[in-house]
Amino acid sequence: MKIVKLLAAGLLSVSLANAQDVMQKSMSMMEEGMTQIQQGFLNNNVKLIENGTKLVNEGNALFSKKELIAQYLPAEKKHLANHASNVSKRIALDVNVLSLNLEEKAYIKASNAYSDILNACSSCHAIVRNW
């Protein structure tokens, strides 16, 4: 019986560590992507904006499922997984809007989409992380 409990505890700790790794990788990719997008806008470098957009999109996809988000959150904040999941959907939509506007050379609209991505990130961090 002790072996079963030890195995269960081991599996739980591995799954929690894996959720942390996914979350950290996701946030790191998104941070790098947002930095590249900002630098691209500041330096009129469309390629940098495109690369940053890809990073944000990939990072967001890693940590977008409500079940995975809930694994990461402490017990008293698990109910906020729905909010974080909705923010992830908002980010995905804004990434598409940014990309489409970039293709159309509508740089003001693209920068507005970037701003909305940043606002979505800040909203989630403020609510879920109690800023």
Q: Where are the beta strands (DSSP E) in the chain?
A: none
The whole domain housing 107 covers 2-128
In the predicted model, is pLDDT for residue 129 greater than 80? no
130 φ, ψ (degrees, to nearest 5): 55, 50
The domain total for the chain is 1
Please report, to the nearest 10 degrees, the dihedral formed by the alpha carbons of residues 45, 49, 51, 53 taken in order: 180
Which residues neighbour 47 within 8 Å (Cβ) at sequence distance 6 or greater? 40
Q: What percentage of the chain exceeds 90 in pLDDT?
A: 61
With residue 96 as reference, give the H or E element that holds it: helix 81-103
Residue 1: the pLDDT is 53
pLDDT tens digits for 21-72? 888 999 999 999 999 999 999 999 999 999 999 999 999 999 888 888 888 8
Which amino acid is located at 100 in the chain?
L
Q: Tell me how far CA of residue 74 lies from CA of 39, 56, 78, in angstroms.
A: 35, 25, 6
The Cα 102–Cα 108 span in angstroms is 9
Q: What is the pTM of this model?
A: 0.80
Residue 45: the pLDDT is 97
The Cα 83–Cα 73 span in angstroms is 12
112 vs 67, more confident:
112
Q: Identify the CATH number of the domain in which residue 38 sits.
A: 1.20.120.10
80 vs 131, more confident:
80
